[in-house]
A and B are shown apart, each in its own frame.
Chain A
């Protein structure tokens, strides 16, 4: 583990340094993913750009006029303690917080860092997919917002320009009678790479699913994505176990391609995806109508 470190004065300075030294310079926030990557020899950066000094500016959770903004350097602990997890519509973040890493990792790991990993095991990418989140980027040519699905272009691949840094994640507060749920299955509760994870955002009207967003750690790519076919099938379906389960069992296998690896077989992952999707949709739906 050999590298030099650059301590930027501000965000612009950090971007300029990263731009000048691309691809040899890599930003470090919490380091909970980056340090193990470097130790494993999977990444050999010449420079790390330490973002910890920018925390004052980029750590916030604001909810204003129906829009949620989460600063990139907000730690998972800060996110878990924010007003967001207390809102009925965002109970999914409470689910996510509970199974994210472990108590110590959550105090270092950041929201922007989790998005920046661009891996299927990044729980927040799954959740942000269900919320149609946009990611704020800031670089030497100014700042812009991109859809999370556009940014996370492939495994460990972000569709961004050299020097661009993730500054925040933005999403809307869902309409009334909506809520979220997040479920991750692994071999134990903490410090795991999930076998399968799912996030659901459900809007209910008169006991029927009016709208649903269903995101998984993987659907047909090696990064988190949405199950659009299944979503379409679920619209107008009554919020009942058999009805929801039936639609998911019918549609999900048509759009989901699961790979086998040493953790689990593709067939098992598909089966678990169906079960977890049903539970997530029903949980989010019940929460949406105030039934916890």
Chain B
């Protein structure tokens, strides 16, 4: 029998935050559900379920992806990064900056915002983003508390911090 067909569970191997997982998942299971329910990664939020709100954003092989639209089967063999993976020991500069400008209010959208900002600054490597660059990178993220301007401010503060740290590292 061909791979996948007729098998109610599909074997999938994927890396999440650097850790390899070997799982058997339902064909219709979304990456979002695998992360939250099987792996206990709850920074990833179940928002609109159709790629419009950005609460479930993760990074898959360097791409910004709504985990509600990707089936876990489609993430096979790929590398997934969530907020847990970028701030396991201490808060990331982006998180520090968001706190500094009092951006988080209800907080539901924040993990997605952190991931989108991380994608812009650390994955795409744009450490000197314009306001438009930030708005573009965060164009997926809806925030019902309306902290949009603070997000832009925070991402620029984080970028400055990361730039300074990089310059310091270069001098060492």
A interface with B by C-beta (< 8 Å): 1-7, 13, 17, 28, 30-32, 35-36, 39, 47-48, 50, 52, 75, 77, 101-105, 107-108, 189-191
Contact = CB atoms under 8 A, between A and B. Distances in A.
11 contacts: A4-B8, A6-B5, A28-B71, A35-B68, A36-B49, A47-B5, A48-B71, A50-B73, A50-B74, A103-B140, A189-B139
B117 to A, nearest CB: 11
Contacts of A30: 69
B66 interface: yes
Interface residues of B, number: 34
Contact of A104 (B10, B28, B51, B71): B51
B28 to A, nearest CB: 5
Contacts of A31: 69-71, 74
A36 B50 contact: yes
Given A39-B50, A102-B54, A1 B28 contact: yes
B27 to A, nearest CB: 4
B80 interface: no
B74 A35 contact: no
A102 B139 contact: yes
Contacts of A17: 2, 5
A103 B2 contact: no
Interface of B: 2-8, 10, 27-28, 30, 49-52, 54, 57, 63-66, 68-71, 73-74, 116, 119, 136-140
B49 A39 contact: yes
A48 B49 CA distance: 18
A102 B54 CA distance: 9
A160 B140 CA distance: 34
Nearest to B115: A104
A52 B74 contact: yes
A139 to B, nearest CB: 18
B4 A6 contact: yes
Nearest to A36: B50
A78 to B, nearest CB: 10
B54 A4 contact: no
Contacts of A32: 51, 69
B66 A108 contact: yes
B70 A5 contact: no
B4 A105 contact: no
A107 B65 contact: yes
A2 B30 CA distance: 11
